[in-house]
Amino acid sequence: MAANFNLPGQSDSDSPSLNDQSLFSRSGNRSLRVAEKERRKNEAEDPFVLALKYFSEVEAGTPVYGNDEVERNLVVVEKAAYSRGLSPEAVSVMLEFAMSLRMGTTLCARVLKCLIPATVVPQEAVVRAVVWLGVGKIPTSTQVLFIKWVLTMFDMIDAKDQLRAIYGFIFSFVTDENLCPFICHLLYLLTRKESVYLLLSPQGRQPFVMHLLSLYKVFCPELVTLSIPSRMRSGFRNHNSPWKSALIGIQKRNGSQVAPSISLALTVKDKGSSRKRKHGHLQLPALSSVVNKEAAEPSSLRKVVPLMQLHSFTQLLENMHQIELPAQMGSLLGSSLALQYLDCVQDESAFLRLNFWLGYALHEEFLFCGDGGTSQTSEEALQFLNRLLSTQHFLQEGFSSSEVFLYKFLSVWDGSLLRPQILGLLSNIPVVPSSRIGQLLFEPLMQLFLTSSIFFKCGLMECLNNVLLKWLNWHSVYALEDDWDISLNSHTSINMTLSGFKDSVMELVHFVGRLASLGLQLEGCHSLLLSFILDFYETVCDTFLKYGLPLIVMPPPGVFYPALLATDPVSVDRLAYIMYRWGFFIPMLQSAVNLSGCTYWQAFHISRQTFREFNQYLLFMVSCLLNSKMMFQPGVGVQLNEELLLKSNVPQYWTRFSLIHHPAFMSYAVDFHQKCWPGKKDMDLNSIKNSKMWGWYLDYLFTQGYDGLKHFVQGNISWKSAPADIQQSDSLSASTVEVHAQLS
Amino acid sequence: MSLLRPFSKLPGLNTANILVSLFSLIKLTDFTLETPRLAKSLPLPVENEETRPRIDLVVFIIHLSSELSLQSAEASLKYLDPGYFLGKVCFMVTNARSASVPTERLDAARKLAASLQCPLLFAEDQTPNGVSSATEKLLNILKVAAGHVPMATALYLSNLTRCTLPPDIAQPSFD
C-alpha cells in the first residue's frame, strides 16, 4: 500500500495560513477519494476498506445516536487497529474524520484512542489535524488527547518539515493554559535555530516552559535573558498514554510478518518498545531526508544537509557548517559519523537535545517500567546500555542525563541488575561537587558495597578506580597551571574551581579508603579484594607524576596493615611499590611547593599529619620487613601490648614479619635455604640473617619478580645518612626519614 | 502480647536463623541455609515457642505493589523486642521501579526504615537472578547478625548501611 499523498496545494503552501490550510485539507480529501476509488475495484468486499470509505465520505452532521452503520464501521476499524495497526492512509482518513468533527465530539476521542499506526503516520495528516485544532470547536480534553497522540507518535511521523513550517501556528497554542505543557513538549521536539519564536514568550516558570526556553537560549542566547538553572527536573512528563502498549504489541506482532519490506524493516529492526526503535532512525532511507531537501524553507537561504545523507568522513568535513541534525537525537548514538560530528563541533543544542532524549529514555525504560521490570534483563536493554557506554567511551565523557539517571537508579538498585553496564556508566560520571557527592553517590554505594558479595565489592573498587582516573584525566586536560579555575569546554555544565575539584577528589579517595577498610574487615582481608584496593592506591600515588595533581593521601591503617601482613607476597610487593612511589614523590613535591609558592600549589597544602603518617608507615614497614624488629609507636594505627605479645609464647615475636619469617615470604626463605645448603637436614632460617647471606637473599627475592620490593629496599638503603630521631619527626620533608636499613 | 526477643535463647553452634516476614510469598528459592522461617506477620504463634530457635535476623519484605504489605510490616513491628532494632532488623522492598507503584509508598517505606535506623534493601523479585542476589544479600547480613563474621557485629553493619531519608535528587541544584 503505497501512500500517494502528492497534494496539489502542498508546494505553494510554504507559509500556511488558516485559509491555505482549509484549501489544502480539502484537496487532500479529494486525492484520498481518488485513491479510494482505485482500490475499491480490487478490495471492494473487504469490510475494513468499506469502513474507511464510509468514514472518508460520511456527510457532516450525520447523527451518531441510533446510527448502527457508524457503530459497525467503527468497530471494524478499532479491531483492525488493535490487531495489526492502521496503514498510513487509514490513519489519514480516521484522523481527518475525527478532527473535522463531522459526527460530533463524542466520536472524536474514541477514534483518537484507536489511532495506532502500523508503520508511519503521514505528515500531511498531522498538519491537517493541527489546523483543525485552530477551528476551535474541539473540547479541551480532546485537544489534549490529540497533542498527546502526536507526542507519542512523533517518531513515527514520516517527515517533520511541514510541521516545522507551521511552527508559528503551533506556537500560538502556547497561550492556552491547558494545552501549554503539551505544546511546549511538541515545540521542543520541533525547534530549530530558525524557528526560535519569542514574540509571544510563554509565561511562567513551570518546568515545561523552562525546558523550552533553555533550548531557545541555546539557539539564540541574545533573545533569552532569563537565567536558566543548569540542570532541571525533566520538564515533560511521561504520558502513560493508552497507545504505547498497543503500539509495542503491534510492532512486536508485525515484526515477524513484514520484516522483509524495506521501509518497515527499519522500524522493526530493534523490535520491542518504541524507545529502542529509535536507534534505527539514522538508517532510515531517503524518505525523510528527501522531503527535507525539497522543502527548502523560504525564510532561510541556508542550505542544510541532513546528517543521514553523509556517508564518509570527507563528506562530513565538507558539509560541516551546514549539517542538519536528525529529528531523533537518539539516532546519533548509533552512527560513528554523527558522533564524530558531535565531538568536533561541540554543538550545544545537539548535546541539549541528546541529553533530553536520553534522560527521557533511561527514565522510562529503567526507572518507570510498565511491567514491573521483567524486561530489564532483555537483550534490548543490554544493547541499549552498551551502545550508550561505547558512545561515552568515544566522546570521552558522560552525559549529564545519564548522570542524573544514575543517581536515581542507585537509590533503588539491588546491586545485580545490569551490573556491568551500570558500573560502566558510573565510571564515566563527571566530577561531582564535594557538597553533594556524599548524598548522591556515597550513601547508596556504601550500602550496596557492604551488603553485597565479594564479587560486587571488587567490581565497585575497580569502578571507583576508573572514576578517579577519569577525573584526573579531565583535570589534566582542562586545568591551566597557575590558575584557580579549571577552564571548561562549553557544553559541560560544571563550573568548578580548582579547590572544588581537589575537595571532590579528596572526598572520593577518603571514601574509597573507608570502603576498603570496611570491606577488608568484613571479608577477612580477602586477597582478591586487596588487589583491587591496591590498584586504586597505585593510581592515587601517581597523581602527581602522571597527572600533575599534587595530592597526598595515605592509605588508611585498615588497608596498610592488612596489605603489609598479608599472606600473599604480591600484596606486600605492591604495597612496597606504593610506599616507594610516595618516597620518591614527596621530596619532589616539597621542593616544587617551596620553589614556586604560587596559589596553585598552595591549594594543595599538605598537612603535617600526612607526613607524620607516611613516616610512621615507612618506619614500621622498614623495621618490620628489613630490620626484624617490630616497633609499635604510640598513636599509630596498630597498638599491641608488649605483655600480650610475650604471653603468646611466640619466640622472638619481633622478627616474625621480617622478610625471612613473614608468612608471605617464608616459602622463599625455605627455598633459598635449601639452595644454599642443599644437604643440610635441620633448617635454621636465622642463618640467612648474616649480612652476606641477607644480601644474597634479597637479590634472590628480586629475581622472583618482586620489583616493588626491590625499589623499596634500594630506595631506602640509598637514603641512609645521618640518623635522626624519627619518632618525633613531624618534619615536612620526607627526606628526613632517615631509615636505618641496617642488616641485623 | 508475646514479644520476640533476640537474646532470650542461646545460639546454636554453626547455625543462624532468619525470620522472613512477608505479606505474600515471593519465591525465595535460593536459600541455601536450612529453611528460613517464614511468617506472614508477627506475633508468631505461641505453640512452637519452646522449639523455635533463636532468631538472629528479622527481615520484612515489603511489596510496594500492595499497600497492605506495608501496613502489615508496620503492624508487626510492635511485636519485636527493642533489642532487635540494634541491628537485627532489615527491610527489603520489591517493585521499586515499577510505574504502577505510587512514589509515596516508597517514600513511606523509606521513612519507616529511616525512623527505625534500619537498612532498606532493594530486590528484583521478577527475575531468577534478582531473587538469588537478594538472597545473597540477606545471607551476607545474616552472617554478620549471627556473629559468624569476626570483628563485625550486627549493630556495626546496620549502622553503616542504615537508610537515611533521601534528598530530592530529582532536582540537584548545582548553583
Selected for mutation to probe chain A from B151, B169, B175 (highest A CB count within 10 Å) is B169
Judging contacts by C-beta atoms under 8 Å, the chain B residues touching residue A455 are: none
**Residue B169, in any domain of the structure:** no
Q: Within 13 Å of residue A633, how many CA atoms lie on the same side as its CB? A: 18
A162-166, A394-398, A571-575, B68-72: which is most confident: A571-575
pLDDT in tens, A119-165: 888 888 888 888 888 776 788 888 888 888 888 888 778 877 788 88
Q: Which helix (H) or strand (E) holds B19?
A: strand B18-22
A366 Cβ under 8 Å from any chain B Cβ: yes
The answer to whether A13 and A24 have CB atoms below 8 angstroms apart is: yes
Q: Residue A63, exposed/middle/buried by CB under 10 A (0-12, 13-18, 19+)? A: exposed
Judging contacts by C-beta atoms under 8 Å, the chain B residues touching residue A453 are: 136, 140
B120 vs A266 pLDDT, higher one: B120
Count of the separate structural domains present in chain A:
2
> Could you give the percent of chain A with pLDDT greater than 90?
12
**Residue B8, in any domain of the structure:** no
**Residue A284, in any domain of the structure:** no
Instruction: Tell me which residue of A419, A549, A581 sits closest to A471, measured CA to CA.
Output: A549
d(CA A639, nearest CA chain B) in Å: 16
Count of the separate structural domains present in chain B:
1
pLDDT of residue A563: 93
**Residue B104, in any domain of the structure:** yes
Does residue B80 sit in helix, strand or coil? strand
- Find the mean pLDDT for residues A576-580: 92
Pair type for strands B57-63 and B89-94: parallel
Helix residue spans in A565-607 (DSSP H): 569-596, 599-602
**Residue B167, in any domain of the structure:** no
pLDDT in tens, A418-472: 889 999 999 988 888 888 888 888 989 999 999 999 999 999 999 999 999 988 8
Judging contacts by C-beta atoms under 8 Å, the chain A residues touching residue B95 are: 372-373
Please give the residue range of the domain that contains residue A683. Answer: 607-744
Rounded CA separation A267/A156 (Å) = 9
Rounded CA separation B79/A486 (Å) = 57
- Find the mean pLDDT for residues B99-110: 83
**Residue A710, in any domain of the structure:** yes
Sign, CA torsion A561/A565/A567/A570: positive
pLDDT of residue A306: 67
What single-letter DSSP state applies at residue A555? Answer: P
Whole-Å CA distances, B51 to A455, B9, B10, B47, B83: 37, 11, 12, 9, 21
- Find the mean pLDDT for residues A677-703: 84
pLDDT of residue A355: 80
Grid cell digits, residue A204:
511562567
Residue B87's CATH number:
3.40.50.300
Grid cell digits, residue A330:
537518539
Rounded CA separation B125/B25 (Å) = 11
A382 Cβ under 8 Å from any chain B Cβ: no
Selected for mutation to probe chain A from B137, B163, B168 (highest A CB count within 10 Å) is B137
A209-223, A541-555, A730-744, B6-20: which is most confident: A541-555
**Residue A666, in any domain of the structure:** yes
Rounded CA separation A584/A285 (Å) = 61
- Find the mean pLDDT for residues A517-546: 91
pLDDT of residue A436: 83
pLDDT of residue A196: 67
Residue A634: pLDDT band with limits 50, 70, 90: low
- Find the mean pLDDT for residues B103-116: 87
**Residue B1, in any domain of the structure:** no
pLDDT of residue A255: 58
The least confident of A34-43, A96-105, A109-118, A551-560 is: A34-43
Whole-Å CA distances, A373 to A44, A46, A366, A527: 46, 41, 7, 36
A230 Cβ under 8 Å from any chain B Cβ: yes
d(CA B167, nearest CA chain A) in Å: 7
A170 vs A599 pLDDT, higher one: A170
pLDDT of residue A304: 63
The least confident of A225-229, A257-261, A704-708 is: A257-261
**Residue A491, in any domain of the structure:** no
pLDDT of residue A733: 36
Please indicate whether, in this complex, the C-beta atoms of A231 and B98 are within 8 angstroms of each other: no
B47 vs A464 pLDDT, higher one: A464
Residue A375: pLDDT band with limits 50, 70, 90: low
* CB atoms near residue B104 (< 10 Å): 8
Does residue B48 sit in helix, strand or coil? helix
Three-state SS annotation for A376-435: HHCHHHHHHHHHHHHHHHHHCCCCHHHHHHHHHHHCCCCCCCCHHHHHHHHHCCCCCCHH
pLDDT in tens, B112-164: 888 888 999 998 888 888 888 888 888 888 888 888 888 888 898 888 888 88
| Residue of A367, A494, A522 lying closest to B149 (CB–CB) | A522
Please indicate whether, in this complex, the C-beta atoms of A230 and B174 are within 8 angstroms of each other: yes
**Residue B11, in any domain of the structure:** no
**Residue B142, in any domain of the structure:** yes
d(CA A638, nearest CA chain B) in Å: 15
| Residue of A240, A417, A447 lying closest to B99 (CB–CB) | A240
Rounded CA separation A418/B75 (Å) = 35
Rounded CA separation A401/A392 (Å) = 12
Cβ-Cβ pairs closer than 8 A, A with B, add up to 115
Residue A717: pLDDT band with limits 50, 70, 90: low
Rounded CA separation A93/A281 (Å) = 26
Rounded CA separation A397/A425 (Å) = 10
| Residue of B99, B137, B167 lying closest to A369 (CB–CB) | B99
Please give the residue range of the domain that contains residue B92. Answer: 18-44+52-161
The answer to whether A546 and A557 have CB atoms below 8 angstroms apart is: no
Rounded CA separation A278/B22 (Å) = 41
Specify the residue for cell string 604560587.
A598
**Residue A737, in any domain of the structure:** yes
pLDDT of residue A44: 59
**Residue B22, in any domain of the structure:** yes
Specify the residue for cell string 498531522.
A126
Please indicate whether, in this complex, the C-beta atoms of A447 and B119 are within 8 angstroms of each other: yes
A18 vs A580 pLDDT, higher one: A580
Judging contacts by C-beta atoms under 8 Å, the chain A residues touching residue B150 are: 524
